[in-house]
Amino acid sequence: MTLNKKCKDEKYKVLTEQINQISNELDTKSTEEIVNIFTEADKAPQKAVEQAIPEIVNAIDAITARLRSNGRLFYIGTGTSGRLGVLDASECPPTFSTNPDLVQGVIAGGTPSLTNSSESLEDFSDISVNDLKVRNFSNKDVLIGITASGRTPYVLSALNHSKKIKALTISISSVPEHDSTLKNDIDIRLITGPEILAGSTRLKAGTATKMALNIISTCVMIKLGKVYGNRMVDLSVTNEKLKERAIGILFDIASVNRKTALKLLKETNGSVKLSLLIALSGLDIAEAKQLLHSSQENLRSALINVNRKIFN
């Protein structure tokens, strides 16, 4: 086949399956040349995320509104896409003390697929709807369907089900609209181009997806009051490292010594946010709890409310 014929054939392939001409003849390159090709290519995910900022912002605000109204956030995908969703969801409880039900990752094949190949399941469109139904997915919830190619049947059927019941429906893909039309409430396109290894979307597409999920979940948690300044004041103190981090946060923000920090954390059952409010306001634990509750668990709002009472 001539090079010209190859180029003509390429335009009929989905973008994520096309050949990256920069990495052509990759097996003939030196180790340094291969690494340089990869490091140059990995600049693309950052650009892809930047170009999708408007859609990402819309997603964050819409998700936050749903979660404030007792909705939940679900990621769904197969293979690498599914694993990225599960990873992001699993990080929320230790980082932000969320209930494990609040953010959930759904992967085709379930838990075994996290460590074993389950790509054969991506063609079974009926499985994903059942995977959502057993989790009582409803119109109050949010579904983010992750499909690099924009064509994964398992994910597409889940997105269609989500739209049908009027849940907030968001898609993340790495192909332009002419490759796959995804008519969802919010359509996030992370266009990273052909992969260094043709079709291996665990590379640039996966990196861009991980970046976008980091931004989305972290920003939503910020909006929900789980961050003060740039500190994770709702972290779960479940080991020595996190205990030391909690003590450091109390020292940095409230200027309390180690002994006082440990005493506060013990009194509040490890709640950094509640400990900070007590240290900064002088309230007792019952008053601080009530104030946090009336301030929608937002530390900054609670402190503003304390100051208002002092000066009124």
- The residues carrying an active-site annotation are 91, 122
Cα separation, 177 vs 231, in Å, equals 38
**Residue with token string 């392939």:** 13
Q: Where are the beta strands (DSSP E) in 46-116?
A: 73-77, 103-107
Q: How many CB atoms lie within 10 A of CB 210?
A: 17
Put the strands of the sheet holding 103-107 in their side by side order: 103-107, 73-77, 142-146, 168-173, 186-189
Q: CB-based contacts of 247: which residues, under 8 Å, 6+ apart?
A: 258, 261, 262, 265
Q: How many CB atoms lie within 10 A of CB 28?
A: 8
Q: CB-based contacts of 1: which residues, under 8 Å, 6+ apart?
A: 9
**Residue with token string 């002092």:** 310
Per-residue tokens: 138: 């409803």
Find, among 110, 121, 187, the residue nearest to 154 by Cα. 121
Q: Angle at CA 43, nearest 5°, toward 19 and 37?
A: 50
Residues 148/152/156/157 CA torsion (nearest 10 deg): -150
